[in-house]
Amino acid sequence: MTASLFDWQNASWQSQLAHVIDNLDTLCKVAGLDKQALQEQYVLPKSFGLRVPHAFAVKVRGVDDPILRQILPTHEEQVVAPDFVLDPLGEAHKNPVRGMLHKYKSRVLLTLTGACAVHCRYCFRQHFDYGANLPKSSDQQAIGDYLKAHRDVDEVVLSGGDPLSLSNRRLGDWLDFFADTNLKTVRLHTRLPVVLPARIDQELLALFAKFPKKLVVVIHTNHSQELDDANAAAFLVLKQAGAVLLNQAVLLRGINDTVAAQVSLSHRLFDMGVLPYYLHLLDKVAGAAHFEVPKNEAVGLYWRLLEELSGYLVPKLVQEQAGHPHKTPVDLYQRSLVLG
Ligand SMILES: *Cc1c(COP(=O)(O)O)cnc(C)c1O
């Protein structure tokens, strides 16, 4: 009976990536959910459809679940909210070199791939036109020239998509290139160590271990239920290969918008050697209005976290504001809080 199900536990990460779940039937089988109970909420999206690795889907614990909510396309996405737009960060046409965003003084961001193992329903790049924005190895010359001309830039942030969905060969090619620049640090923003921990394979660890510059890996976890022993093992070997591990989360309605959820996430991360870095207010991307936690509520929650957690376990509460030269710290003393 289970013979038809993909034996993900014995599969390579490449095979797991090739077999990601992309339909409701399989999701329900793998996650042990009653399809009847989900049918009413589920809507087949025109683009950016259901996509989740088996290793992540098995962590869903029922139809009312913080992981399921992050991955299940629902009719709520079709609600049109006026200030929720296709390009909330104004990233289109901001590229000095193909695939490169230079918005903040000391660091540039490269979207190396549009591919990701998981489609998070609140993803702010879900409508992003990667087609014209992916750098190729042949763009390395131009990127190198740009870095030489901008000596303020000492860090490159690899984003996407997910930079770890690249093969080790292609990632290694980029790391070799960065090793030859004046950059001090390479930072990867990735959800793969969380949703597909098998991605952290020996080849990747060897690439990281021999990389001569600082390496920072910012994982994306929103809820402690996302993390188990396999993740802990992946984080440990990443640290052993020299990476500094941080987490960033998005504050999401019905997923992690309680003090208990945030406290539990910070403790779980710390147990696994990861420090909380950012807690983002939702980027107002079209289709994600139902995830929004109003700012005054976020601020109220945040004051409680300051009470409950050691300082180093409190992530910075920030929001992205198009056109600003940095992430903007949320004002904890805003009038709207006082006025309710
Ligand atoms: C978020 C972001 C960075 C990194 O910002 P940090 O505050 O250093 O984490 C860099 N470039 C762009 C375009 C970004 O959006």
Dump the DSSP string for 327-338.
Answer: PEEP-TT-HHHH
Structural element, H or E, at residue 101: strand 100-104
Angstrom distances, CA of residue 193 to CA of 56, 157, 200, 274: 11, 17, 7, 12
CA nearest ligand 1 atom 9, residue: 327
Residue from 124, 157, 159 to probe ligand 1 pocket by mutation (most atoms less than 8 Å from CB): 157
Whether this prediction's pTM lies above 0.85 is answered by: yes
Ligand 1 pocket by Cβ (under 6 Å): 101, 103-104, 107, 109, 157, 327
Name residue 285's beta-bridge partners.
85
Please state, in angstroms and rounded to a whole number, the distance separating the CA atoms of residues 159 and 190.
Answer: 7
CA 102 / ligand 1 centre spacing (Å): 9
CA 101 / ligand 1 centre spacing (Å): 9
Write out the DSSP string of 17-67: HHT-B-SHHHHHHHHT--HHHHHTTB---SSS---B-HHHHTT--SSS-TT
Write out the DSSP string of 134-193: ---GGGHHHHHHHHHH-TT--EEEEEES-GGGS-HHHHHHHHHHHHTSS-SEEEEEESHH
CA 104 / ligand 1 centre spacing (Å): 7
CA 210 / ligand 1 centre spacing (Å): 25
CA 43 / ligand 1 centre spacing (Å): 33
CA 77 / ligand 1 centre spacing (Å): 27
Name residue 275's beta-bridge partners.
246
Please state, in angstroms and rounded to a whole number, the distance separating the CA atoms of residues 304 and 261.
Answer: 12
CA 205 / ligand 1 centre spacing (Å): 25
Ligand 1 nearest atom to the CA of residue 157, by list position = 10
Per-residue pLDDT of the chain (340 residues; tens, 9 = 90+): 455 689 999 999 999 999 999 999 999 999 999 999 999 999 999 899 999 999 999 999 999 999 999 999 999 999 999 999 998 888 876 788 999 999 999 999 999 999 999 999 999 999 988 877 899 989 999 999 999 999 999 999 999 899 999 999 999 999 999 999 999 999 999 999 999 999 999 999 999 999 999 999 999 999 999 999 999 999 999 999 999 999 999 999 999 999 999 999 999 999 999 999 999 999 999 999 999 999 999 999 999 999 999 999 999 999 999 889 999 999 999 765 555 4
CA nearest ligand 1 atom 11, residue: 109
Residue from 94, 104, 247, 319 to probe ligand 1 pocket by mutation (most atoms less than 8 Å from CB): 104
Ligand 1 nearest atom to the CA of residue 108, by list position = 11
The DSSP symbol for 340 reads -
Ligand 1 nearest atom to the CA of residue 109, by list position = 11
